Amino acid sequence: MLLQGSFFSLPFRSPLRLRPPITHHHLPRKFSFAAVSSSASYAISDQELESRGFIFRRTIDDLNLDHLNSVFVAVGFPKRDTDKIKVALEHTDSLLWVEYEKTKRPVAFARATGDGVFNAIIWDVVVDPNFQGIGLGKAVIERVVEELLQKGITNIALYSEPRVLGFYRPLGFISDPEGIRGMVYSRKNKRK
């Protein structure tokens, strides 16, 4: 999910399966809420990913924001001001990105904001189209969710485009739990 203006045990599929970019709309459509257990058993271990040249990073120190922005754009998010992305990331509680060792560029990303105790929302979940379908999206979400759970945060929400609901469901997210619907106030939604 994109902030405007502004989560098993399966084998790693190898070799890398590259697939063409998918066009994505950036508008939030559905709220999903996490109902995950706190066992940190990941589909792919950090070591397994590392052996394939993917390194997890948890700070923005070595993150080239222009490169990150180009991943956002490559998946169909609108290009955003890099300075604003920097501010957004500085106000982010949990952040995880995957660096591809060969190019030093970010190929997967997700972050979460929240109140640090009860609630968190996951934003900007992206995987470079050239690296989609090899488990990076799942790897990133699993780890962001685990980090939040470790902090005691158990109410984890995100927006999902309809076409991505099937990605989030196996990761523990459910839509409209007990009939609760997400509502969004957005200037562009306002009636003229």
Ligand X SMILES: CC(C)(COP(=O)(O)OP(=O)(O)OC[C@H]1O[C@@H](n2cnc3c(N)ncnc32)[C@H](O)[C@@H]1OP(=O)(O)O)[C@@H](O)C(=O)NCCC(=O)NCCS
Annotated catalytic residues are 168
Q: Contact with ligand X (CB under 6 A): which of 106, 164, 172, 173?
A: 164
> Is residue 163 a contact point for ligand X (CB under 6 A)?
yes
Between 82-90 and 65-74, two packed helices, what is the crossing angle to 10 degrees?
100
Task: Tell me the three-class secondary structure of 110-161, residue by residue.
Answer: EEEEECCCCEEEEEEEEECHHHCCCCHHHHHHHHHHHHHHHCCCCEEEEEEC
Total residues contacting ligand X (rule CB under 6 A)? 20
Distance of CA 43 to the CA centre of its chain: 16
Stretch that binds ligand X, among 47-55, 95-103, 157-165, 176-184 (CB under 6 A): 157-165
Is position 151 an interface residue for ligand X (rule: CB under 6 A)? no
Among the listed ranges 79-87, 89-97, 163-171, 184-192, the one in contact with ligand X (CB under 6 A) is 163-171
Interaction of residue 25 with ligand X, rule CB under 6 A: no
In three-state secondary structure terms, 95 is: strand
Q: Which stretch binds ligand X (CB under 6 A): 49-57, 123-131, 143-151, 183-191?
A: 123-131
Compute the least distance from the CB of residue 42 to ligand X, in Å.
11
Least distance from ligand X to the Cβ atom of residue 161, Å: 5
Instruction: Kindly tell me which of 103 and 117 has the beta carbon lying closer to ligand X.
Output: 103
- Evaluate whether 84 touches 77 at the Cβ level (below 8 Å): no
Q: Tokens in use for 52? A: 């394939």
C-alpha to C-alpha distances, 10 to 37, 44, 62, 72, 121, nearest whole angstrom: 17, 7, 30, 27, 26
Pairing of strands 105-114, 30-34: unpaired
Choice from 4, 6, 12, 24 touching ligand X (CB under 6 A): 24
DSSP label of 54? E
Per CB under 6 A, 167 contacts ligand X: yes
Q: How far is CA 1 from CA 28, 40, 73, 85, 121, in A?
A: 7, 23, 13, 14, 10
- One of 54, 97, 161, 172 touching ligand X (CB under 6 A): 161
Shortest distance in whole angstroms from residue 192 CB to ligand X: 27
Which stretches of the chain bind ligand X, using CB under 6 A? 1, 10, 24, 75, 125-127, 132-138, 160-161, 163-164, 166-167
